[in-house]
Amino acid sequence: MNLRQNLGIALESLRANKLRSALTMLGIIIGVAAVIVLMSIGSGTQATVVSRISSLGSNLVFVRPGAPQQGGVRQAQGSAATLTMEDAEALNDPARAPSIALVAPEFSTGGQVVAGNRNVSSRVVGVTELYPDVRNYTVSEGEFIGKQNVDARSLVAVLGSNVAANLFPDSTALGASIKINRQQFRVIGVLASKGGTGLGFEDDVVMVPISTAMTRLASQRSVQGGRSVSVINVQVVNEQEIDEAKEQIAQILRERHRVTGEDDFTVTSQEDTLSTLTQVTGVFTAFLGSIAGISLLVGGIGIMNIMLVSVTERTREIGIRKAVGAKRRDILSQFLVEATVMSVLGGGTGLAIGILISRLVSGMTLNGQPLVTVVSPEIVALAVTVSAAVGLFFGIYPATRASRLHPIEALRYE
């Protein structure tokens, strides 16, 4: 008795009971399709998050002020104003920090931006000329803030595409005069939109020279010292050297800040953020998958149910087979193959339906966010393997029962 003959018997038996086989397979079909659709949504979300994080710039390391100790009480992280422009300049040292390619400090504040009779509330970021290279911004009109603007503390601004569109819906923003917190600035450039690829807020920004921001705009914000930067963005020469870069940054800053105990700054890489978010979306995907897995389990129980009915119905056939010399394992494998064939056929159909549905779902929007689905080979392999395993597992009990039937009792069964 070989596998090919068992397959033949299984297919013949499934054909003989078409409706019943189809209904049994329906359980597996729905289960597998649900797994495919839900997990593809999960992986789609994951892929979206990853691509948005990556669009911020590649090989990034962020240095932020740490949590200060004040009288033994640990303050909130980032509330210390310990990072200065001089720290940023010190990091730009190829001799001591060879893994660092570019350093771009930024000073973030918020502000009321007014042009004519229109005004918007926007994030205002003080930057240096290297900022667009580090954070993947490009200028669509005009030019970006230059080194001379930073040195001269010029009152010039570059608008994010959303801000430009809001303030100047009909005319060009270039050359126009705007007010940020009642200070007059000239618009010298407009940033290209990052569109749907970013995290959504990159286009709601106004950029000014960091020197101007710290001296002219910082007074509006209660910042200790006034001359401290919010974040130092560091671009590492390549992906492999991120850990070295983090170590070099930490060494330089510890020395400069004369740190003895806990660091007064934190260094996080984009990879850290990415891995955290990947973890979160991974849990989300697994959660969706396990919900769908329950329906696959129910489908498997359906197979067991039908196989038990089938064994009872075919008791006489089993008796005949045993009378002419079928051994236990012959009968066992016959019914196991039948259960597995049913679940694999169901799994294949479910796979096709699942892929189809996830394609259809892919274009739709949910709460304004486009739904992205990714059917990865892993998901497909998982769904097919699990459905075959379900058939095999839930086939074992009925098949064992069939194989243990006594030939005489089986032959007498009506």
The contact set with another protein (CB under 8 A) reads: 1, 5, 12-13, 16, 316-317, 319-330, 407-408, 411
Residues 6+ apart with CB under 8 A from 181: 111, 112, 124, 217, 220
Closer to another protein by Cβ: residue 244 or 330: 330
Helices (H) and strands (E) in the chain, counts: 13, 14
- Give the E-state strand segments of 210-251 in sequence order: 231-236
By C-beta, is 74 or 316 nearer to another protein? 316
367: enclosing H helix or E strand: none
Report the residue number, 113 or 410, with the smaller CB distance to another protein. Answer: 410
Q: How is 268-334 classified by DSSP, letter by letter? A: EEHHHHHHHHHHHHHHHHHHHHHHHHHHHHHHHHHHHHHHHHHHHHTHHHHHHHHHTT--HHHHHHH
Nearest distance from residue 409's CB to another protein, in Å?
Answer: 10
- Please, what is the minimum distance in Å from the beta carbon of residue 314 to another protein? 10
Least distance in angstroms from the C-beta of 341 to another protein: 16
The residues pairing with 86 across neighbouring beta strands, listed in sequence order, are none
Nearer to another protein, 282 or 407 (CB): 407
Smallest distance from the beta carbon of 49 to another protein, in angstroms?
Answer: 55
CB of 311 to another protein, least distance (A): 15
User: Least separation, in Å, of the C-beta of 7 and another protein?
Assistant: 13
Q: Which residues contact 207 (CB under 8 A, 6 or more apart)?
A: 124, 125, 126, 127, 131, 144, 145, 157, 158, 159, 160, 191
Nearer to another protein, 89 or 313 (CB): 313
The residues with which 274 forms a beta bridge, in sequence order, are none
Please, which residue, 198 or 407, has the CB nearer to another protein?
407
**Nearer to another protein among residue 264 and residue 317 (C-beta):** 317
State the helix-helix crossing angle for 3-16 and 328-362, rounded to 10 degrees: 70
Q: How far is the CB of 394 from another protein (least distance, A)?
A: 24
Q: How wide is the angle at C-alpha 151 spanned by C-alphas 150 and 156, nearest 5°?
A: 40
Q: At closest approach, how far in Å is the CB of 15 from another protein?
A: 9
Binning the chain into helix, strand and coil, the percentages to the nearest 5 are 55, 20, 25
Spatial separation of the C-alpha atoms in residues 263 and 403, rounded to whole Å: 70
**Chain centre to alpha carbon of residue 218:** 36
207 versus 318: smaller Cβ distance to another protein: 318
- Name 259's Cβ contacts closer than 8 Å, sequence gap at least 6: 253
Nearest approach in angstroms of CB 349 to another protein is 24
Sequence-ordered list of residues with C-beta below 8 angstroms from that of 397, at least 6 positions apart, any chain: 304, 308
* Amino acid at the residue 60: L
Give the nearer residue to another protein in terms of CB position, either 135 or 322: 322
